[in-house]
Amino acid sequence: MVAQPTKSAWNQALLGWVLLVVGFGILFWFIASWWNQTEPASGPQKLLIGAGFLLAALGIAWVANQFVNTPNPVIGFTPAALTLLVVVVTAEALLRAYQVPPGLIPTPSRVLSTFFAVRDVLLQDAFQTVVLEALVGYLIGCGLGVFTALLVSRYVFLERGLLPYATVFSSIPIVALAPVLVKMVGIDWQSKAVIVAITVFFPVVVNTFRGLSEVSPLSLDLMRSYAAGEVQQYRWLRLPNALPFIFNALKLGTTLAMIGAIVGEFFGANGQGLGFRIQIEAGRFGFDIVWSAIIVASLIGIAWYNLVAWLERRLTGWHVSFR
Amino acid sequence: MMQSNTPNTHLPSSSLEVRPIVSVRQVSMIFQTGTVALKNANLEIAQGEFISLIGPSGCGKTTLLRLLADLIKPTSGTIQIGGKNPEEARKSRAYGYVFQAPTLMEWRTVLSNVMLPLEVMNFPASERKARAEKMLTLVGLEKFARHYPWQLSGGMQQRVSIARALAFDPQLLFMDEPFGALDEITRENLNLELLRLWRETGKTIIFVTHSIPEAVFLSTRIVVMTPRPGKIETVIPVDLPQPRTFETRELPEFFQIATEVREALRRGHGYEVTE
Amino acid sequence: MTRISPHLGPMLVVALITLALYWPLMYLANIPAAQRALDTGAALPCKTAFECATQLRSPVLPSPQQLWNGFRNLMFPLNSQSAIPLNALVTALETIVGLLLAALVGFFFAIGMVASRAFERSLLPWIVASQTVPIIAIAPMLVVVLGQYGVQGWLPKAIIAAYIAFFPIAIGVAKGLKSPDPLSLDLMKTYNASNWQTYLKLRFPASIPYLFTAFKVAMTAALIGAIVAEISTISFQGIGKMLAENSRASDVVAMWVIMLSSAVLGILLVALVNWLERLLTPWQRVRTAATPLPKQARVSERGGAG
Ligand SMILES: Nc1ncnc2c1ncn2[C@@H]1O[C@H](COP(=O)(O)OP(=O)(O)O)[C@@H](O)[C@H]1O
Ligand SMILES: [Mg+2]
């Protein structure tokens, strides 16, 4: 049921915006007044931060009701954006109020300024981690995965003999695989690409196989009635049917690839890479750089995922999940 | 214990004026999409009747039933169930509802599915099992109490859902195409069983169908509905002798009434016929 | 499932072929390294590169003999602080505690998302986005920070495992809570069921299969989280500690043994979830075999009419 915007709902939203503004006002006022302080704040001041957070959170809850049925994705994103803002600003205020040493937990503002200061280094790291390691490994792993799935779906013997292993192998923790592979292949980017390829390979095989084999028997009969050959059957029935499954694995693979590359670098890198940066800076309490590296990795991860999701929409727009 | 085992042996037509258990006055339902699902519907149903709602898809049968059950609210008009408004009636648990699909909970055994309403309604624990078992006997499934729904055929699942609707002994039973998805043979058997239940328990049943023979066979009266906008075209009484048996379908009156229903449906352009 | 699986034969053949290929591969990979070792004049108990290939300190691929010895060294005594069984147990416990913790928090988030569209609109984008982010990167930092506030021992590892397992569980449970079809919800409404009763009798039970599906994904993720957490701090126990130690000592054979053992650990943990699932959701249809109706059922379907 679509809720009709009633008068009281509008009043609630208005009150929500007021609460939001007051809450943010309190938080920003505190941050501004404590910008150069070195003392921890007093008890009442800490309570005030709590109150500011609660007011803003309550405000979001009421404002969000107005966006519940918004079809426009950008406008519909408003509550989420506000939530992030509240969390970040409250974190900043609390860290300043308790005077947490920046070596332990850096304030968001400090992370931002560090981010801009070290962005060149981080970009180099990102190139190594994402393009050389994650992307190369991803392409190899996905390509081999789809090829293997084609073979496995064609030959029953391979299905019975190989597929159970693929399922089992996907429950192996990559962290245990990483040190062995780094020792075997070396500390340069190739070893991480191999780790990534292996981690994305198994889910791609399992998913693609499911898509290729779970075609309706009636469609198979139809193809048979057209006297379609093996290749035609794959071209016109099995592969299109498998596309949504393949894309699910490809989307999952983007995350696995980033994790694989970063974890791989924990066990040996040639002095570059986001994982290497995170590891080394965490060890010497340079958490502002760690956070910056995480932000870079996150932005790339989200962008990559959405790129694949966009491709999926282009290619499999017919599928039920998009209706 | 069942409180209302007054058998439905006959139905004095005067009982209509005496005590309508369901009364629908000038009820309209317009959805937010603009669909006029029901327009100015009027209907009075007496205690103990077996009413069928018949009409092509989209003529508002389900909508009327959902209005009676307080699952949606009418745009205008008044509905009374046993002298109460639908919401009060729902809150006093006046009716049982059998949906088109069995809607059994797959994690519950057959027996505990029948016990579900009793649990929700806080019946004493000792009473629940006895009642549920009795209802399963009533629908002939006592041997399947420990099975899970997926182990039963579609017809058996629908019988479980009928037992579940009867478990808390409501006076009224709403059934929305309960046998729509079943094959003809199973459906005829279940029709006979349903009539037996109705005779033995004295319930009032409102039954949605789009099968003309089914409606004629089961009902004391047939409400013919037509689409665009959904409205009640006419109400046709069915004076076939009770109890009804397989032979009832062979009676000349049976065909007469079926023809009458068919013509009423045509009058409302229910079926696009070119003559 | 009492009869022998048709998979067994082909699986054995594949395993045998893999083993048969391993030997030549191992020689191929190790002989250059062995030759180099001989050329540098290292003190090796062997004469030819071919002989030395199975006895290198840091082989590219360890020989089966080396692996076997490694297993014997690292498995026993069972209760030794430096043997695999005890450390694997610690890691497994951290993972399981983390998973339960994640389930607890995940349930609250899921209920919030199902109960309030506003809550969902405000948080879901971040929960989804966080799945596309290498969460693991936060682990090393989180361990250090938690340690500063006195959270030490196995607890920070469990917390990190929980942190990583949280997202799939919250999403899975929310899906499960939303899974009842509209008719079932209508049914509860006709009973005049309270909100709480609808959760208790309908939504929670409906979400259990989804919870287990999420657990299977989350279990591997949580195990990785626990191991990374062990690696990133001073740990005294756990698979991660052993990995870190042997990685520093460059004991390649030991690393292989630990890798294989943690693979087994991962498989066992997922098997545990599968076993619990079968135990706790007896209503779930066995999908492998088409289950025929019980014999009685078919008979009385016909004889039902009275
Ligand atoms: N929730 C709803 N929102 C909008 N339109 C609806 C809704 N429910 C039913 N309708 C429309 O109302 C009309 C009557 O529907 P219904 O009562 O389900 O018909 P039927 O007689 O087949 O049971 C149909 O045109 C249907 O599309
Ligand atoms: Mg209907």
| Residue of chain A with shortest Cα separation from C11 | A161
Verify that C150 and C181 share a domain, yes or no: yes
- What pLDDT sits at residue A7? 66
How distant, in Å, are the alpha carbons of B246, C130, C139, C147 from that of C144? 81, 21, 9, 5
Average pLDDT over chain B reads 85
Whether C1 is covered by a domain: the verdict is no
Q: Which residues of C touch A105 (CB under 8 A)?
A: 145
Question: Whole-angstrom Cα distance, residue B104 to residue B107?
Answer: 9
* Confidence bin at C98 (pLDDT 50/70/90): very high
By DSSP bridging, strand B50-54 and strand B204-209 are parallel
Same domain, C33 and C158: no
Tell me the residue type at B121. M
CB under 8 A, 24+ apart: contacts of C32-41: C33/C58, C33/C59, C33/C60
Query: Over 50: is that where the pLDDT of B7 sits?
Result: no
- Asked if C298's CB is within 8 angstroms of B192's CB, the reply is no
C69 vs A242: CA distance, rounded Å: 45
Report which protein residue has its CA nearest ligand 1's atom 5. Answer: B31
Looking at the fold, whether C231 and C278 belong to one and the same domain comes out as yes
Q: Which residues pair with B80 in a beta bridge?
A: B23
Average pLDDT over residues A18-28: 88
**pLDDT category of residue B29 using cuts at 50, 70 and 90:** very high
Mean pLDDT calculated for residue range C219-230: 87
CB B176 within 8 A of CB B209: no
Angle at B103 between CA B97 and CA B104, to 5 degrees: 110
Can you list the domains of chain A with their CATH numbers? 7-100 (no CATH), 117-317 (1.10.3720.10)
Residue C122 lies in a domain: yes
Distance from CA of A64 to the nearest CA of C (A): 5
Nearest CA to ligand 1 atom 26: B58
CB C222 within 8 A of CB C169: no
Is C137–A275 a contact, with Cβ atoms under 8 angstroms apart? yes
Look at residues B202, B169, B164 and name the one whose alpha carbon lies nearest to residue B95.
B169
In terms of domains, do C145 and C102 share one? yes
In this prediction, residue C99 has a pLDDT band, given cuts at 50, 70 and 90, of: very high
Q: Indicate yes or no: CB of C136 within 8 angstroms of CB of A172.
A: no
Which residues in C246-283 are b (16+ Cβ under 10 Å) and which e? bbeeebbbbbbbbbbbbbebbbebbeebeeebeeeeeb
> A229 vs chain C: nearest CA distance in angstroms?
27
Looking at the fold, whether C29 and C115 belong to one and the same domain comes out as no
For range B195-224, the mean pLDDT:
91
Helix (H, G, I), strand (E, B) or coil at B232: strand
Give the Cα separation of A54 and A51 in Å (integer): 5
Per-residue pLDDT for C132 more than 80?
Answer: no
Residues in C touching B192 (Cβ below 8 Å): 305-306
Residue C31 tokens, joined: 């002989």
Q: What is the mean pLDDT of residues A88-104?
A: 84
Predicted confidence band at A230 (pLDDT cuts at 50, 70, 90)?
confident
Q: Which residue of C has its CA nearest to A178?
A: C259
Work out the minimum CA distance from B275 to partner chain C, whole angstroms.
Answer: 40
Output the six-digit token pair for A301: 């991860």
Does the residue C144 lie in any domain? yes
Per the model's pLDDT, the better-predicted residue between C232 and B145 turns out to be: B145
Distance, CA of B49 to chain centre: 11
pLDDT at C299 over 90: no
Residue C296 lies in a domain: no
Query: What is the pLDDT at residue A320?
Result: 55
State the best of B67, B120, B139, B171 to mutate against chain C, taking most chain C CBs within 10 Å. Answer: B120
Interval C265-288: pLDDT, tens = 988 998 899 899 988 888 876 543
The residue nearest atom 8 of ligand 1, judged by CA position, is B63
Residue nearest to atom 18 of ligand 1 (CA): B62
Amino acid at B273: V
Asked if residue C137 and residue C22 are part of one domain, the reply reads no
Closest chain C residue to B72, measured at CA: C186
Question: How far, in Å, is the centroid of ligand 1 from the Cα of C186?
Answer: 16
Q: pLDDT value at position B18? A: 56
* pLDDT tens figures, B92-144: 888 999 998 888 988 899 999 999 999 988 899 889 999 999 989 888 898 99
* Of B219, B265, B272, the residue nearest B55 (C-alpha): B265
Cβ within 8 Å of residue A5, ≥6 positions away? A66
Could you tell me which of C175, C12, C164 has the C-alpha nearest to residue C95?
Answer: C164
Q: What residue ranges line ligand 1, CB within 6 angstroms?
A: B 31, 33, 35, 37, 55, 57-63, 230
Residues 6+ apart with CB under 8 A from B78: B25, B26, B27, B85
What total of structural domains would you count in chain C? 2
What pLDDT band is residue C296 in, cutting at 50, 70 and 90? very low
Condensed to tens digits (0 to 9), the pLDDT of residues A112-122 reads 999 899 889 99
Residue B268's pLDDT is 72
Residue nearest ligand 1's atom 27 by CA: B58
Residues C29, C178 within the same domain: no
Residues of C in contact with A294 (CB under 8 A): 133-134, 137-138
CA distance C59 to C230: 26
Residue among A229, A202, A81, A101 at smallest CA distance from A148: A202
Residue with tokens 């080396």: C66
Q: Are residues C27 and C91 in the same domain?
A: no
> Residue C134: its pLDDT value, please?
66
Going by C-alpha positions, the residue among A257, A276, A269 that lies closest to residue A195 is A257
Do C146 and C238 lie in a common domain?
yes
- The percentage of residues in chain B with a pLDDT greater than 70, rounded to a whole number, is 91
Q: Within a domain: residue C236?
A: yes
> What is the pLDDT averaged over residues C50-60?
76
pLDDT over 90 (residue B271) = no
Cα dist from B147 to B143, C280, C283, C300, whole Å: 9, 16, 9, 14
**B 180-209 → C contacts, CB under 8 A:** 186, 188-190, 192-193, 196
Mutate to test the pocket of ligand 1, among B63, B71, B265 (most ligand atoms within 8 A of CB): B63
The whole-number average pLDDT for the span A175-197 is 86
Q: Which of A1-10, B78-87, C130-139, C181-190 has the lowest mean pLDDT?
A: A1-10
pLDDT band at A5 (very low <50, low <70, confident <90, very high): low
Which pLDDT belongs to residue C286? 53
Q: Are residues C122 and C22 in the same domain?
A: no
* Ligand 1 atom index nearest CA of B230: 14
What's the CATH code of the domain at C180? Answer: 1.10.3720.10
Q: Considering the domain boundaries, does residue C248 fall inside one?
A: yes
Identify the structural domains of chain B with CATH numbers, from first to last: 16-94+171-275 (3.40.50.300), 102-169 (no CATH)
The predicted model gives B225-230 an average pLDDT of 86
Does residue B229 have a cis peptide bond before it, meaning omega lies within 30 degrees of 0? yes
Q: Which residues surround ligand 2, an ion (CB under 5 A)?
A: B 62
Give the ipTM of the model, two decimals please: 0.82
Judge whether C37 lies within some domain: yes
- pTM to 2 decimal places: 0.79
Under 8 Å between Cβ of A17 and A59 = yes
- Does residue C183 lie in a domain region? yes
**B264 touches C: beta carbon within 8 Å:** no
The secondary structure of A4-28 as a DSSP string is P--HHHHHHHHHHHHHHHHHHHHHH
Q: Which of C28, C46, C61 is the last residue of a domain?
A: C61
Tokens of B60: 């508002």
Domain of C272, in residue numbers:
84-284
In tens, the pLDDT along B156-188 reads: 999 899 999 989 888 899 999 988 878 888 888
Determine the pLDDT at residue A182.
85
Segment A298-309 mean pLDDT:
88
Q: Are residues C57 and C200 located together in one domain of the fold?
A: no
Say if residue C107 is in the same domain as residue C25.
no
Res. B14 pLDDT band, cuts 50 70 90: very low
pLDDT of amino acid C52: 74
Confidence category of residue B64, pLDDT binned at 50, 70, 90: very high
